[in-house]
Structure 1
């Protein structure tokens, strides 16, 4: 275990002005606080925070961060308090330790909704001060290094968490060396057989090619020396997880990989980078499509390097990375390689705007968090954030030459939102390299994109499917929710207006606003939206708007639903006096669930249309000549086929003592994995649903889209089934279908 003076000397070596007294005080306090506590390995618990601090000294972090590393577990695991930490070490370190304590209490591998909410809290915590993230990454790295002492379930959970959350965050901050080590530790425990196979094959190849790597390195070094370029040349071997990921992604064997062995050439200046590139390309033949210039177009995490592949000595494919020494330091340690990480905290405190131009990795992390916090729910937040973390990049340009980095597979819609939210909201078309192209075109490196906008454009909600970035998807969903709210407001206004007109009552906006406030709504629009969503009975509101009306005038002209309330829609429906409320009974007509309607003259057969409707849905009846009444869910696209004068105002009238099943159709996108269909059927069966039919709508190499006809009791029952399906790892997407 590192001694006190050894830790202090490590810090003073790269930061002679460090507060030696602070480091000594933190060391002694943490050691005494943890006392006789032991880790699972049997080692003194204090060895863990000490190793975390040692990892951070390798990153050359400031004395406050090192002290935080020593103290990061004391509030959680000892009798120490935040107040005591503030008094002894100051509020800055107290705040950092408190942030790390809150993160430690999160269980990031849990039920999906809980994981999403905890992930949201994690990102909020690290967005306030970059040092919280740096200490947490070092903490995770040491835990992964000692994972063999944990129970199998803990190893699996920590490894999943590392691959899903912490390794991508390290990559986003440009800390490539730390990311690679995290990934390899997680790979070792999650896929032990694959890890062993890859490492054994690498060992065999290393033995076979022992002289080749040195031969190639010397050849490159010799060429640089002959040209008078001072260069450090080194060979490297690709990490096991990176090899396995590439084999899985490209479906190729280990022998087919061209970049298992790579070489780095480190020089003093950018000019020398391009001189080395010229020497390499004029000496050996290049491999087409294997050149990338991240010097002139850096990655979003500030990574800079020139990548090229050539047929080198012995006609071997050789991957080269050419960069300056400064670029190499940044590539290895990311944001921790610069003093700027100390200034990021000031940016956060000063409320740096997500769209005001902070283009550092940490600035982009805060911008991403700021955008994604607008998601409607935690699961949506998690979905968008993982999209941001995992995707590779393409680099595109505005007409003025501004570089826009986007995830691979991004479209002009993503580009528009990356430029500015307003441009994304008003985007209607795109020109790519001067050609008019569809808005869902996949962008490629080097594309110049011009976005055509219109302030009067109403963007279809379906455009969300064209977006890849979380920022674009969040904005589209937000706009869709607002558009839906406006529709409900308009519908509610029409319904209330029709009811008042039918009662021959004059009303004004002032009376409506006063009635809304009296009914507990913040505004008239909020009341109209509640009416449109059928969240409040019109009869209740009429009593407020017409307080002095006779009692019978306030009585509704329909029979109230016992459980789910009354479904209504636009003007033009048949008056309720002509058709009374629906009475459901168990019978079958043409294989469909049938009900009858009690009218003044006859009972009419009722049939649910494909896609179905269930109690709790807002429904519409359509009078079909010779066929009785067809019942549609309010969002069914087939309603457009019928004139509104044929629509009938209907309502659920369910007997809770005799529950019935009703038809509903869902679409399930599932991974092509053994047992996926069994899992889906098990969820439906265990939640009390009944499968009436399954149709394989689309099959691909890695997924299948199924359309499943269900029988459920009501909307709550259906939503319970959908939630259960979405929680299954093999299920990628579940949505309800209406026909």
Structure 2
């Protein structure tokens, strides 16, 4: 365990002006607070915050961050309080410790919503001070280094979350060194066999190619020195997880990988970076399409470097990364390498946002929180962006737009502005008309064609890959559906006022919004359109003296037009065989749970009968369709729970109304079969609406019969009697 003087020495190596007294107080305070607490490994618990602090000293962070790391578990796991930390160490450190305490429960949990909500809390805390994220990542790194002491179930859970969220987030913050270690540790615990296999193959490759690598390093260093370029040349090897991920992504074998080994050239200036490229490209053949200049166009995580691949000595392909020492610091430590976090100075968010692309991305991501997404949607959108490499495209005016690899012109449009995305109708890529679902590539110039009053199709959500685009499309779709409901509601409300012989105006409705418990006129109209509010209640709210006279339902006989015991009058639309087209009749469906004046119909394929468990599906502008719960057609609405209505039958005892059902019969093909079937149905007082006959073979026919029955008991009796007939092979009910 690191001693007190060792912690101070680590900080003073890079910051001679370090606040030694504050570091000493934090060490003693945390040691006493944690007392005899133990970790799963059996080590004193206090060793954990010290190791977290040590990781952050390697990044050369300011005194406040180091002190916060030492104290980060005190409020959560000991009797310490925020007020006590504030008094002893100041409000800045207390705020950091408190922010980390609120995130303590950000472990992967069984419920996706809880994980998503905690992820929102993480980024909101980070928005206040990025140092919260740095301590949290260091905390996760040390926990991963000691993960072998945890129970197997928790090991898998923590490793999965590390690959899922923390490692990609470290990458987006430019902290590649931390990302590589987090991924390797998680990979080793989640897939130990795959990790061992790849590690073994890499060891074999190192031994086999060791001399070639040393030869290339020396030859390249000598060539640069001869040209007067002072450079440090070092070989590098891909990490096991990077190798495995590329094998999975490209479906290739280990032997097919050509860039496992590479070389990094560190120079003192940007000018020397380009001089090195000139030397390398002059001496060795360049592999086409493998040159990338991230110095002139840095990645969004602040990464800068020049990448190229050449065919070097021994006809070996070699990938080179050329960068300055300062770029190397950023490539390894990312946002932690930013000068605003050095020398005891505290980061200013606005200044950091102007200078750090990584922080700009983080703030844009956090901005999505204010746009109405659910926690699950927010987590989904953020993961989409965390996991993708980037492409760089341009607007016609030369503005650079960075997007995840695989992005489309729709993603591009939303990256420019939400209004551009919502109004997009077409695109030109490099001056040529292209489909909106085309995949963009580095250097593409994209021009978006727009149209007024355009609503993005819901299908776009499955095409785009950026979180911003998905969020905006989903929001626009919701707004469009809401507008449809409001339009339908306005028609219903207007007719209700006309029936009541009362004058309607938006001004009158606006004055009574509190009575209707709605915040706007559109809320009222949309509620009526969705069937959540009865139009007569709106009339009553505007004209309290109004009373609606309703006649009680009559008792029609079979075939008569009339009301079948409705709570609210709801008209039935159905197909009349042989007549073509839909017709409106006076018949209604006896259903409870439907309020308002929306048209109601049975599902077209098989209907529903009393005794069935039923649900209603609301379609804006059309009304409500009643389905039996077993209907396979309902799977089409699984992702639209807002359209499902809880309804039930409203049938009085002794009433004999008729309801549509559909059965399929497999029968022997012989004279009299159809008559036998029709006789059974007629004898049981049911009605045949339609018959479709399909030949199955020379001996059998399939009959699909639409019948009218009283209820489920009546239908089952008919099916039972049909099965008992010798000419019938099989009878089953059809729903969808």
Normalization by structure 2: what TM-score?
A: 0.77
Q: Deviations over 1:130-149 (max 9, x none)?
A: 00000011111111111111
Q: Is the 8 A contact 1:372 1:470 kept in 2?
A: no
Gaps of 5+ in 2: 554-561, 574-580, 593-601, 626-632, 638-644, 654-658, 663-734
Q: Structure 1 492/57 Cα, relative in aligned 2: closer, same or farther at 3 Å?
A: same
Query: For residues 328-477 of structure 1, what are the structure 2 equivalents within 5 Å?
Result: 328-341=328-341, 345-347=347-349, 360-477=357-474
Corresponding position of 2:63: 63
Farther off after superposition, 303-312 or 178-187: 303-312
* Post-superposition offset of 1:286: 1.7
Mapped to 2, the partners of 1:651 and 1:360 lie a distance apart of: 49
Corresponding position of 1:324: 324
- When the two chains are superposed, the root-mean-square deviation of aligned CA atoms in Å is 3.6
Q: Is the 8 A contact 2:427 2:433 kept in 1?
A: yes
Mapped to 2, the partners of 1:78 and 1:70 lie a distance apart of: 13
Q: Is the 8 A contact 1:221 1:233 kept in 2?
A: yes
Q: Structure 1 35/478 Cα, relative in aligned 2: closer, same or farther at 3 Å?
A: same
2:588 paired residue among 580, 584, 587: 580
Corresponding position of 1:482: 479
Q: Structure 1 420/345 Cα, relative in aligned 2: closer, same or farther at 3 Å?
A: farther
Mapped to 2, the partners of 1:381 and 1:485 lie a distance apart of: 21
Q: Is the 8 A contact 1:116 1:379 kept in 2?
A: yes
Mapped to 1, the partners of 2:80 and 2:651 lie a distance apart of: 56
Mapped to 1, the partners of 2:365 and 2:214 lie a distance apart of: 43
Mapped to 2, the partners of 1:651 and 1:94 lie a distance apart of: 50
Mapped to 2, the partners of 1:157 and 1:171 lie a distance apart of: 21
Q: Is the 8 A contact 1:108 1:118 kept in 2?
A: no
Mapped to 2, the partners of 1:456 and 1:336 lie a distance apart of: 45
Instruction: For residue 498 of structure 2, give the secondary structure of its aligned residue in structure 1.
Output: helix
Mapped to 2, the partners of 1:558 and 1:14 lie a distance apart of: 86
Mapped to 1, the partners of 2:381 and 2:547 lie a distance apart of: 55
Query: Higher Cα Rg: structure 1 or 2?
Result: 2
* Post-superposition offset of 1:402: 2.1
* Post-superposition offset of 1:653: 5.2
* Post-superposition offset of 1:106: 2.6
Q: Structure 1 131/653 Cα, relative in aligned 2: closer, same or farther at 3 Å?
A: closer
* Post-superposition offset of 1:97: 0.5
Mapped to 2, the partners of 1:454 and 1:48 lie a distance apart of: 58
Corresponding position of 1:689: none
Normalization by structure 1: what TM-score?
A: 0.77
> 1:287 and 2:287 equivalent?
yes
Mapped to 2, the partners of 1:376 and 1:62 lie a distance apart of: 35
Instruction: For residue 118 of structure 2, give the secondary structure of its aligned residue in structure 1.
Output: helix
Q: Deviations over 1:367-412 (max 9, x none)?
A: 1121255253222111101001001111111223222110011111
Q: Is the 8 A contact 1:427 1:453 kept in 2?
A: yes
Instruction: For residue 236 of structure 1, give the secondary structure of its aligned residue in structure 2.
Output: strand
* Post-superposition offset of 1:341: 4.7
* Post-superposition offset of 1:264: 0.5
Q: Is the 8 A contact 1:109 1:160 kept in 2?
A: no
Q: Is the 8 A contact 2:401 2:412 kept in 1?
A: yes
* Post-superposition offset of 1:471: 0.6
Mapped to 2, the partners of 1:403 and 1:621 lie a distance apart of: 47
Q: Structure 1 512/573 Cα, relative in aligned 2: closer, same or farther at 3 Å?
A: farther
Q: Deviations over 1:216-238 (max 9, x none)?
A: 11011111111111110001121
What is the aligned length? 617
Q: Deviations over 1:45-64 (max 9, x none)?
A: 11110011011000000000
Mapped to 1, the partners of 2:603 and 2:56 lie a distance apart of: 72
* Post-superposition offset of 1:551: 5.0
Corresponding position of 1:166: 166
Corresponding position of 2:4: 4
Q: Deviations over 1:314-344 (max 9, x none)?
A: 1111111111111111101111112235788
Query: For residues 95-134 of structure 1, what are the structure 2 equivalents within 5 Å?
Result: 95-134=95-134
Q: Structure 1 510/372 Cα, relative in aligned 2: closer, same or farther at 3 Å?
A: closer
Farther off after superposition, 129-138 or 511-520: 511-520
Query: For residues 601-680 of structure 1, what are the structure 2 equivalents within 5 Å?
Result: 615-618=615-618, 654=649
* Post-superposition offset of 1:38: 1.0
Instruction: For residue 616 of structure 1, give the secondary structure of its aligned residue in structure 2.
Output: strand
Q: Deviations over 1:675-733 (max 9, x none)?
A: xxxxxxxxxxxxxxxxxxxxxxxxxxxxxxxxxxxxxxxxxxxxxxxxxxxxxxxxxxx
* Post-superposition offset of 1:347: 2.2
Farther off after superposition, 413-422 or 158-167: 413-422
* Post-superposition offset of 1:616: 3.0
Q: Is the 8 A contact 1:174 1:303 kept in 2?
A: yes
Instruction: For residue 209 of structure 1, give the secondary structure of its aligned residue in structure 2.
Output: helix
Mapped to 2, the partners of 1:499 and 1:651 lie a distance apart of: 25
* Post-superposition offset of 1:514: 3.0
Q: Structure 1 595/312 Cα, relative in aligned 2: closer, same or farther at 3 Å?
A: closer
Mapped to 2, the partners of 1:590 and 1:517 lie a distance apart of: 37
Corresponding position of 1:311: 311
1:593 paired residue among 587, 594, 606: 606
Gaps of 5+ in 1: 598-607, 624-631, 637-649, 664-737
* Post-superposition offset of 1:17: 1.9
Q: Is the 8 A contact 1:372 1:471 kept in 2?
A: no
